[in-house]
Amino acid sequence: MVASLIGLAFFEKRNSHKLGWAAAWGFLPLIPIFLVSQISRSLWVDRYLLFTAPYLFILLAAGFMGVWRRWRIPVVAIALIYFVAIGGGLKRYYTVKDREDWRGFVQLIQTNEQSGDVIVWKANQSRPRALNHYYRGSATIEVRIDEPEDNPQAVESWLESLPKTRSRIWLAYANPSPNLLSGIEKKFKAEEVYKIKVNGTLELFLLTPRTSEI
C-alpha cells in the first residue's frame, strides 16, 4: 500500500524532487537497523523507528492527495468500506489484551533468580530475542534447538542432558508434550510459573533437582 502511494506521489513531476528526499530519509535509515537486528540484538522495535515517521507521513499524505485528485468517488467508497470492515477489529484492539507479555516473562526470571541458576531456552525461536532484549541478570543461558521424540525414553535422555547445577533451572519450553511434563515431574521438583500464547503455548518452569548435582 505504501509503495503504491509513493508511486502515485512521484507521478506528479513537480513534487518528485522534494518527495525523493522524504523517501530517502524515511527508508534508507531502516536498512542498517534491519541488518544489525539480524546479526545482533534486535533494534527493530517501535521506539527505534519513530524518527522516520515524519517522512513516511509526508509520503502518505502526498500519495493520498494524488489518489484523491484522480479517483475521488472510488476513494470515498473504499474508505467507507474500510472503516466498516476494521471497526470490529479496532474495538477488540482497544478492549482486549492479547499481546504476549515478553517483558513480564523475562523479568519474572530476573527478579527471582538465585546464584547458580541456569536458563534453558527451548522455544520456537532459535535465538531468544526476548532474553536478548529484556534480560539483564547473571544466570547462564543455554539455547536448545534439539527436541526429544515424544516417548518416555527420549524425554528422559533429553532431561538428563540439561545442565548440571546445585541451584535451579528455568526452562522455557514451547508446547510441551504430556510425556515431557511427566518426565519433568519425575526428575525435578517442578513449578509452572508462567505461560504465554505465542504460536502455541510457551511455558516457563522452575526446576529444582531432586538431588543436588554438579
Q: Are 209 and 188 in contact (CB under 8 A)?
A: yes
Q: Are 190 and 207 in contact (CB under 8 A)?
A: yes
pLDDT for res 3? 47
DSSP 198: S
Distance set, CA 26 to CA 10, 30, 170 (Å): 15, 8, 42
Side chain identity, residue 16: S
Compute the distance between CA of residue 146 and CA of residue 203 in angstroms, rounded to an integer. 17
139 located within any domain = yes
**Containing structural domain, residue 134:** 102-209
Is 182's pLDDT higher than 70?
Answer: yes
Compute the distance between CA of residue 56 and CA of residue 61 in angstroms, rounded to an integer. 9
Task: Give this prediction's pTM.
Answer: 0.55
Q: Are 53 and 22 in contact (CB under 8 A)?
A: no
Instruction: Show the CA angle centred on residue 175, arms to residues 172 and 176, nearest 5°.
Output: 75
214 located within any domain = no
Is 119 or 64 the better-scoring residue by pLDDT?
Answer: 119
Q: What is the pLDDT of residues 128-153, one digit of tens each?
A: 777 888 888 989 999 898 888 989 99
Task: Indicate if 109 and 34 belong to the same structural domain.
Answer: no
Task: Indicate if 127 and 88 belong to the same structural domain.
Answer: no
Task: Indicate if 24 and 82 belong to the same structural domain.
Answer: yes
Task: Indicate if 118 and 87 belong to the same structural domain.
Answer: no
State how many domains the chain has.
2
Name the nearest CA neighbour of 8 among 53, 75, 80: 75
Cell numbers linked to 213: 548435582
* Domain termination residue (choose one: 75, 95, 115): 95
Task: Indicate if 125 and 76 belong to the same structural domain.
Answer: no
Cell numbers linked to 68: 484523491
Task: Indicate if 134 and 77 belong to the same structural domain.
Answer: no
Task: Indicate if 192 and 128 belong to the same structural domain.
Answer: yes
Average pLDDT, the chain: 80
Is 62 or 177 the better-scoring residue by pLDDT?
Answer: 177
Task: Indicate if 76 and 127 belong to the same structural domain.
Answer: no
